[in-house]
Amino acid sequence: MSWSDQTATPAGGRHGSPWRAAGTVIVVLLAMLGAGMVGASFRTTPPPRPPQPVAQAGAPASTPATSDAGADQAPVDGVTPAPDLPAPDLPAAGLPRSVPTTISIPRIGVRAPIMSLGLKPDGTLEVPPLTEAMKAGWYSSGASPGEVGNAVVVGHVDSAKLGPAVFFNLGSLVKGDTISVAREDGSTATFVVDEVTSYPKASFPTDLVYGPSDKPGLRVVTCGGVFDSSAGSYLNNVIVLATMAG
């Protein structure tokens, strides 16, 4: 995403405890703003369109979109729950906390450094600078990849100066693909994709991405959908939901 209206809420499940709730004002603010974390790269002309997931929010995952424009702007009736796929070999307690260093996604040829991100004074999520658009960012107040809870990793889809960025092809992922995250403690957490979907930024599924989980999960987020030249941002967020493999 090239992002302008960056947002986030506290992520969940760190050390197996319920997700840390923010104050009511912050939660409402974030819900209103959505998560257009990487939506603006100050373009005046539309960029090459990144691949979009087949599944769109508000439509059955098995029903392909009949038109790109309609799919990108599909209405959202509610938050789609994360798939509850069985993971019989999953360690109940997950891994100890450790800072992630690198994310690898073989299907789309991604191997990128990860920087740690926090919240800005206004409660919105920091994002990697556009000058470092080939790096991903981890929401460091939430679970680390491999811990119980949903670890959140974000990245730009493109940059006006650099062109396609780290997660340009994120929408190409499909169920069953793998994502590996190397950690400072020398271990690697490997996740299997459960679902790839797209949500309008105005209906960003805050709880689905940042809410609690009783298993080690991963949420990877970038921008997608139609590019709004007047706003200099994309209208949607592409979201990958994944669960750690045993």
> 139 pairs with which residues across the strands?
117
In a domain, 84, yes or no: no
- Please give the Cα distance from 171 to 143 (Å, whole number): 24
pLDDT at 125: 86
Which residue in the block uniquely carries the two structure tokens 């007047």?
230
In a domain, 126, yes or no: yes
In a domain, 5, yes or no: no
Of 154, 107, 150, the C-alpha closest to 132 is 154
Q: What is the CATH number of the domain that holds 31?
A: 2.40.260.10
Instruction: For residue 209, give the 3-state DSSP assignment.
Output: helix
DSSP 18-41: PPPPPPHHHHHHHHHH--BTT---
Q: How far is CA 158 from CA 19, 138, 164, 210, 223, in A?
A: 31, 18, 4, 24, 9
Supply φ then ψ for residue 26, to 5 degrees.
-65, -45
DSSP state of 160: T
In a domain, 63, yes or no: no
In a domain, 79, yes or no: no
pLDDT at 167: 97
In a domain, 54, yes or no: no
The helix (H) or strand (E) run that includes residue 208 is helix 206-210
In a domain, 94, yes or no: yes
Domain count, the chain: 1
pLDDT at 53: 83
In a domain, 68, yes or no: no
Contacting residues for 18 by C-beta, under 8 A, at least 6 apart: 12, 212
* pLDDT in 10s for each residue of the chain, 246 residues: 554 333 333 333 333 333 333 333 333 333 333 344 444 444 455 567 788 887 655 333 333 333 232 222 222 223 333 344 444 454 446 999 999 999 999 999 999 999 999 998 888 889 999 999 999 999 999 999 999 999 999 999 998 888 999 999 999 999 999 999 999 999 999 999 999 999 999 999 999 999 999 999 999 999 998 888 888 889 999 999 999 998
- Please give the Cα distance from 210 to 30 (Å, whole number): 11
pLDDT at 97: 97
Print the domain residue range for 31: 14-44+90-244
